[in-house]
A and B are shown apart, each in its own frame.
Chain A
Amino acid sequence: MAAEDLPSEFDVVILGTGLAESVVAAAFSRVGQRVLHVDRRSYYAANWASFTFNGLLTWIQENQEGSHPEEAQDWSSLVEEGEELIRLSNSDSTSISNVQVFTYTSEEDEEEEEAPNTTEEETGGAEGDAVKEASETESADSKEEETEEKQEETAEGGGGGEEEQAPSTEGEEPEADQPAPSAAQSQSEPAKKKKISYTKLVKEGRRFNIDLVSKLMYSRGSLVDLLIKSNVSRYAEFKNVTRILTYRNGQVEQVPCSRADVFASRQLSVVEKRKLMRFLTSCVEETEEQRAYNGRPYLEFLRDQQLGDNLQHFLLHSIAMVTEDTPTEEGLASTRNFLRCLGRYGNTPFLFPVYGLGEIPQCFCRMCAVFGGIYCLRHSVTCLLVDKESNRCKAVIDSRGQRITCSHFVMEDSYVGVDRKKVDTPTRFLSRAVLITDSSVLPSDSDQQVSLVTVPPIAAGRPAVRMVELCSSSMTCMPGTYLVHLTCQSVGSAHEDLSPVVNSMFRTPESPDQETRPSVLWCLYFNMADSSGLEVQGHDLPSNVYVCSGPDAALGHDHAVKQAEFIFQKILPEEDFCPPAPNPEDIIYDGDNPSPTATEGEAEEGEGETKEEKEVQEQEEVQEEQSLHPEE
């Protein structure tokens, strides 16, 4: 906890804790490289992060206010002869835009049964503000006896600024393009059944783990393989995605994808069942017939199989998850990938991490730390020091003005100054929406389903939307609610792209007549830059500097994993990428005799040294131990 200086020499310095950077960090640390891993943010995982509800409110606030880049300091005194200084970008303002929040549930329950518990709301410094605002909201409206008590608590916890805050946290951000939809006012809807109030969402905020990106893990995808191979999987647990759903003709339907599903399906006729089974069996192997369709749309291929509209829809939108003009070979490859991943863990090809996707980068960070990597959040690298002659980055200057020597430098793309980025394609964006709802889009016997919902374009020129509905046992939302993530490649702003889908599939103040649909209690729209087109190298940067891109639009994680492996192999081509870490239960400690001269105090001081013979020995022992149990 102490603010002490960092060691001044590392093998690899990594800036940003997104997925690719975190995998790189774990991979280097695992093979004995000295890793410094920092992030300017106060949280792990960058744009891959997940937040509690209150944490998300703080994130929203930060992104609506825009960032306040620190003043560039003059570090020229740290530049040595023959060195050149490259400044990194220190603002994150470009990656998140069009943040809009709507609260559709009432501020408070009609009968709030218990007074707010301050210890419950005791959160870290960053979250304090959001909680404070919420408390203010409470006291503004409450006519109950607790009012005074609450205000006291507010004054105690908040400290200043109470008057200038509007009594609700939602509303348009000033720089949003669209005018505020009139229905976006709070308390606009007379509750028919008792809905969970906004106050309750805030109070139970810690039960939410809301991801900024929405992806799933293919059960045989590169991320699952890597988690297993490296033993990083020990830090997480997963849930099966239990259903694949699709939205069609105004209805949510279940897509039969496994053999069991096909037989159990009530929507399919016997003929359709037979046709689907035959198709799925036949497409596993590439045939002459399929090759004849290369370059022509997959839709055409499907049509010619005489499958009928139902099956064609399922196969195109929900199984291959491609668009109508995707070429046949791509559609088939994607269908095969889907089928290959079926049945490994469950009835769908997908897994979802308990506590959300934000866990995954942190799992790799933990592995890195366990093998000696040093972690600092709220800490950045402001400049690179480049040797003019070799065009290599020799050292970096951190945000405290410390010069840190390194052999390689890896960073998230948002730290690369615009002037140095080589961008071939215009930046693409993802449109994202996050909804908290009160029931499932397709109620079933179990209320604990994790569903992937594919929503084909609702009109020509509109994007296909991918939706993931999470239940409370995924530990991403409070009991009694569902967390719904919508994602698409941006055509317009997130609100423009996604609100039509939200209004047609859910009940909101803009679609009040959708009485049978789940009600939206709260929702957030934002756009995130999709930098996945960016190359790892080739920018106007030194040759030993590598750039990781942020989240991409794909459902899986292949892009980030490939990028991490590429960087690792570029730097250490001889080394194994993420070999299995030893099982803690297999490690045997040597009971070496204490040296008679050393006292405990002296020995303990040694903990501060990062690289010592003994340490290397320990690690070798660990690796030896591991090699004895390769199968465990």
Chain B
Amino acid sequence: MAGGSVSECKEYLFKVLVIGELGVGKTSIIKRYVHQLFSQHYRATIGVDFALKVINWDSKTLVRLQLWDIAGQERFGNMTRVYYKEAVGAFVVFDVTRGSTFEAVAKWKHDLDSKVKLANGNPIPSVLLANKCDQKKDISNSTALMDNFCRETGFLGWFETSAKENINVDEAACFLVENILANDKGLPYEESNGDRIKLDQETVAAESKSGCC
């Protein structure tokens, strides 16, 4: 998914997955991060594949971050490979007010690691988000426990977030992108994908009328 370099400014396109149980606030986090919006009213995510956030990382780096929501209804865990393929990072989200959503985190992480890997075979970098922290104050007691859990399950780290109060959402994204970029620099591109073809309306419109033979 990584883009090539253009003279001085390097441009990257990163696909990042946002997964977790139903109702933990995946869509809210995405909308908060990308659109600076929070609404009480999101329903199962309809008609939206991913949201795009363009980040001017530094003077030489432009990052286009595609955040892929699981379609609200893929909630039985049966995501298509289309969803996972070529992802380079992931957020696994749970709701601090509902213990069962935390219990499912390990399952989601395991599922993630079995379905997508980096080109070198390593798991993709992932960050755990303890969302809705505005509704529960006492999570700080469990910092050591959470750190330990992240080490054991292979998360880079975890953040207490609130999409509603805009707490730590940018920080978590920044942390993940940092890690993705580090990976990207360390790895040679497996092959050039330059000869891959996208089918879209533009290609059709731009198509020359020159016949064959």
A interface list, Cβ under 8 A from B: 1-3, 44, 117, 119-120, 122-124, 206, 224, 227-228, 231, 233-240, 257-259, 262, 277, 280-281, 284, 339-346, 351, 354-355, 358-359, 362-363, 365-366, 369-377, 379, 472-473, 580-582, 584-585, 587, 589, 591-592, 594-595, 598-610, 612, 614-615, 618-619, 622, 631-632
Inter-chain contact A600/B135, CB cutoff 8 Å? yes
Inter-chain contact B213/A238, CB cutoff 8 Å? no
Complex CA gap A3/B204 in Å reads: 44
For residue B60, CB closer than 8 A to chain A, the reply is no
- Can you offer 9 A-B residue contacts whose CB atoms are under 8 A? A228-B203, A233-B199, A341-B212, A359-B81, A372-B72, A373-B71, A376-B78, A594-B38, A599-B40
From residue B65, how far is it (CB to closest CB) to chain A in Å?
12
Given contacts A376-B78, A581-B47, A584-B48, contact A233 B200 (CB under 8 A): yes
Chain B residue nearest to A377 in the complex (CB)? B78
For residue B137, CB closer than 8 A to chain A, the reply is no
Chain A residue nearest to B43 in the complex (CB)? A615
Given contacts A362-B82, A365-B80, contact A228 B200 (CB under 8 A): yes
Chain B 77-120 interface 0/1 with A at a Cβ cutoff of 8 Å (1 = within)? 11011110100000000010100100010011001011101000
Complex CA gap A119/B121 in Å reads: 9
Complex CA gap A374/B70 in Å reads: 12
For residue B55, CB closer than 8 A to chain A, the reply is no
Complex CA gap A277/B85 in Å reads: 43
Given contacts A372-B73, A615-B46, contact A1 B111 (CB under 8 A): yes
Complex CA gap A2/B22 in Å reads: 9
Complex CA gap A251/B45 in Å reads: 56
What are the residues of chain A within 8 A of B24 when measuring CB–CB?
604
For residue B152, CB closer than 8 A to chain A, the reply is no
Inter-chain contact B23/A618, CB cutoff 8 Å? no
Contact pick for A592, options B39, B72, B74, CB 8 Å: B39
Max chain A C-beta neighbours (<10 A), residue from B40, B193, B195: B40
For residue B207, CB closer than 8 A to chain A, the reply is yes
Inter-chain contact A238/B23, CB cutoff 8 Å? no
What are the residues of chain A within 8 A of B200 when measuring CB–CB?
228, 231, 233-234
Max chain B C-beta neighbours (<10 A), residue from A236, A377, A600: A600
Inter-chain contact B212/A238, CB cutoff 8 Å? no
For residue B191, CB closer than 8 A to chain A, the reply is yes
Given contacts A280-B213, A600-B135, contact A618 B82 (CB under 8 A): no
Complex CA gap A373/B75 in Å reads: 10
Contact pick for B81, options A44, A370, A600, CB 8 Å: A44
From residue A284, how far is it (CB to closest CB) to chain B in Å?
8
Contact pick for A373, options B48, B73, B201, CB 8 Å: B73
Contact pick for A342, options B31, B121, B213, CB 8 Å: B213
Chain A residue nearest to B162 in the complex (CB)? A600
Inter-chain contact B49/A259, CB cutoff 8 Å? no
Contact pick for A615, options B37, B44, B201, CB 8 Å: B44
Inter-chain contact A374/B73, CB cutoff 8 Å? yes
Given contacts A123-B114, A612-B43, contact A375 B76 (CB under 8 A): yes
Chain A residue nearest to B205 in the complex (CB)? A631
Name B's interface SS.
loop
Inter-chain contact A608/B111, CB cutoff 8 Å? no
Complex CA gap A631/B95 in Å reads: 40
Chain A residue nearest to B26 in the complex (CB)? A607
Chain A residue nearest to B37 in the complex (CB)? A591
What are the residues of chain B within 8 A of A120 when measuring CB–CB?
121
What are the residues of chain A within 8 A of B212 when measuring CB–CB?
258-259, 339-343
Inter-chain contact B111/A370, CB cutoff 8 Å? no
Inter-chain contact A604/B23, CB cutoff 8 Å? yes
For residue B50, CB closer than 8 A to chain A, the reply is yes
What are the residues of chain A within 8 A of B71 when measuring CB–CB?
366, 369-373
Inter-chain contact A607/B44, CB cutoff 8 Å? yes
What are the residues of chain A within 8 A of B191 when measuring CB–CB?
472-473
Complex CA gap A339/B210 in Å reads: 12
Inter-chain contact A236/B104, CB cutoff 8 Å? no
Inter-chain contact B47/A240, CB cutoff 8 Å? no
Inter-chain contact B198/A610, CB cutoff 8 Å? no
Chain A residue nearest to B154 in the complex (CB)? A119
Inter-chain contact A1/B23, CB cutoff 8 Å? no
Given contacts A591-B37, A622-B46, contact A362 B104 (CB under 8 A): no
For residue B25, CB closer than 8 A to chain A, the reply is yes
Max chain A C-beta neighbours (<10 A), residue from B31, B49, B78, B132: B78
What are the residues of chain A within 8 A of B185 when measuring CB–CB?
none
Given contacts A362-B81, A585-B52, A587-B47, contact A598 B40 (CB under 8 A): yes
Inter-chain contact A603/B41, CB cutoff 8 Å? yes
Given contacts A1-B111, A370-B71, contact A234 B196 (CB under 8 A): no
Complex CA gap A342/B193 in Å reads: 22
Contact pick for B46, options A262, A580, A619, CB 8 Å: A619
Inter-chain contact A601/B97, CB cutoff 8 Å? yes
Given contacts A233-B199, A371-B47, A614-B43, contact A1 B76 (CB under 8 A): yes
Inter-chain contact B82/A359, CB cutoff 8 Å? yes
Given contacts A343-B212, A601-B132, contact A609 B76 (CB under 8 A): no
Inter-chain contact A600/B198, CB cutoff 8 Å? no
Contact pick for B44, options A206, A589, A608, CB 8 Å: A608
Inter-chain contact B197/A369, CB cutoff 8 Å? no
What are the residues of chain B within 8 A of A618 when measuring CB–CB?
43, 46-47
Inter-chain contact B207/A344, CB cutoff 8 Å? yes
Complex CA gap A399/B195 in Å reads: 45
What are the residues of chain B within 8 A of A375 when measuring CB–CB?
73-74, 76, 78, 80
What are the residues of chain A within 8 A of B114 when measuring CB–CB?
122-124
Given contacts A584-B48, A592-B41, contact A238 B85 (CB under 8 A): no
Complex CA gap A606/B46 in Å reads: 13
Inter-chain contact B80/A607, CB cutoff 8 Å? no
For residue B21, CB closer than 8 A to chain A, the reply is yes
Complex CA gap A376/B76 in Å reads: 6
Chain A residue nearest to B34 in the complex (CB)? A589
